Chains A and B, each alone.
Chain A
């Protein structure tokens, strides 16, 4: 029996039996510290002798650069953006993630289909359609959901980059200014993520503590996944 499976329809020409590595997802809203923790995890895993591939949204060789530009221009519609992201993910799956899993790597991905679905659902997409479209994605071994409440999130964003157009959901015209819009938009996203906890088996991690505290818990949980017997 292959350890991996697809959510829906399979990618053509992929033999799941060959995939040996682990696919680990970090999810969470903007500003929650995902990339910091991916960096720490990578170092820690490599120190322990594991080969690691880290990847994330808009990093595909095929579509990454243009997708980032499309985001900046705010000219593409909702369905178009969802499909553009799907193209980016498919390219990374076929050319990075699956080859790495075949070679026995631990793949850490900064966001996965869940963020894409949450953001699209908030913008009015049909959840059933999204599930079908993203059905080509591999089911991960674990999804760690870094969670903080809205108040913590606001503080963190203010301390780092400030409010940003997309992270504030400004395209949705939800508030009078960026702060109001950010709060409403991120609350809504949090609600969508919270709904997914049970549906997709997220492992929530309280990310309101210090980086060290959060990392310690994350590390222990990742360790358990890595140690878990492959077959």
Chain B
């Protein structure tokens, strides 16, 4: 059991952060496509931790059992499982690991909920420091338009309803996200997050992301079996 901190593993870790509706997941998906086409071994670290931990999180949310502390701790537990199972092993194997949201999400969200900033940073001391952490900087109104336009109903904790900011879920969501943005902005200098202006076109943002990532990839392993993978995915597609 180690504090991983600045890792010396042969792989690379790129993560994206930003509020809901910042477009970070789209950017990460496009980055993944490009890395794969360049022949890198890409491992997408999803939030699929142990079913046992997931059950606790889901049940806690559904029954509104979570306090700021237990919300913070159960997400840290989940993140630890993900680190131990889905981040460290591929990094050791030399893969390019991509993660949609990272410990910075917890630093923003938990602190807004009233958890001590110092404590939550200690809590995540085991986390691997990303090679590059992108922060998709978005004004609140832009993100709100994207979210409220398209998606299903906003969920209770996502809207920060537990904070009692407003009885109206959309209003609560806005107030909560505004505070999250303040926390992210503080972290840009603290952790050296690379801020990307997310009001620009998708293509412009992606070009900048790829430029920054490619600089950090010198010496990273590429696969020789790419053709096989392509053939396998083609075969899968034709079966459908």
Give the one of A8, A61, A80, A83 with max B CB within 10 A: A80
Decide yes or no whether B76 CB sits under 8 A from chain A.
Answer: yes
What residues of chain B lie closer than 8 Å to A53, measured between beta carbons?
none
Q: Mark B189-224, 1 if CB is under 8 A from A, else 0.
A: 000000000000000000000000000000000000
B70 touching A91, Cβ below 8 Å = yes
Decide yes or no whether B166 CB sits under 8 A from chain A.
Answer: no
Given A9-B116, A10-B116, A62-B60: A86 in contact with B73 (beta carbons within 8 A)? yes
Q: Mark B73-95, 1 if CB is under 8 A from A, else 0.
A: 11011001101110000000000
Decide yes or no whether A94 CB sits under 8 A from chain B.
Answer: yes
Name B1-35 residues within 8 Å CB distance of A.
1-3
Decide yes or no whether A90 CB sits under 8 A from chain B.
Answer: yes
Decide yes or no whether B174 CB sits under 8 A from chain A.
Answer: no
Dominant SS at the B interface? Answer: helix
B73 touching A83, Cβ below 8 Å = yes
Decide yes or no whether A47 CB sits under 8 A from chain B.
Answer: no
What residues of chain B lie closer than 8 Å to A11, measured between beta carbons?
69
Decide yes or no whether A196 CB sits under 8 A from chain B.
Answer: no
Decide yes or no whether A73 CB sits under 8 A from chain B.
Answer: yes
* Interface size, A (range): 35 or more
A77 to B88 alpha-carbon distance, docked (Å): 12
The residue that A90 contacts in the complex, of B50, B70, B114, with Cβ under 8 A, is B70
The residue that A80 contacts in the complex, of B77, B113, B114, B115, with Cβ under 8 A, is B77
Nearest Cβ on chain B to A76's Cβ, whole angstroms: 6
Nearest Cβ on chain B to A17's Cβ, whole angstroms: 19
Decide yes or no whether A152 CB sits under 8 A from chain B.
Answer: no
Nearest Cβ on chain B to A47's Cβ, whole angstroms: 34
A87 touching B77, Cβ below 8 Å = yes
What residues of chain A lie closer than 8 Å to B52, measured between beta carbons?
66-67, 69-70, 73, 76
Nearest Cβ on chain B to A166's Cβ, whole angstroms: 16
The residue that B69 contacts in the complex, of A73, A76, A77, A90, with Cβ under 8 A, is A90
A77 to B52 alpha-carbon distance, docked (Å): 13
Chain B's closest residue to A84 (CB) is: B77
Nearest Cβ on chain B to A83's Cβ, whole angstroms: 4
Decide yes or no whether B125 CB sits under 8 A from chain A.
Answer: yes
Nearest Cβ on chain B to A85's Cβ, whole angstroms: 9
Decide yes or no whether A136 CB sits under 8 A from chain B.
Answer: yes
Give the one of A62, A75, A94, A123 with max B CB within 10 A: A62
A52 to B131 alpha-carbon distance, docked (Å): 52
Q: Mark B55-71, 1 if CB is under 8 A from A, else 0.
A: 11001100001111110
State which of A25-33, A125-133, A157-165, A181-189 sits at the interface with chain B: A125-133
A18 to B122 alpha-carbon distance, docked (Å): 28
Decide yes or no whether B119 CB sits under 8 A from chain A.
Answer: yes
What are 6 A-B pairs with beta-carbon distances under 8 A? A11-B69, A66-B56, A69-B52, A76-B52, A80-B50, A126-B2
Interface residues, chain A, with chain B CB atoms under 8 Å away: 8-13, 61-63, 66-67, 69-70, 73, 75-80, 82-84, 86-87, 90-91, 94, 120, 123-126, 129, 132-133, 135-136
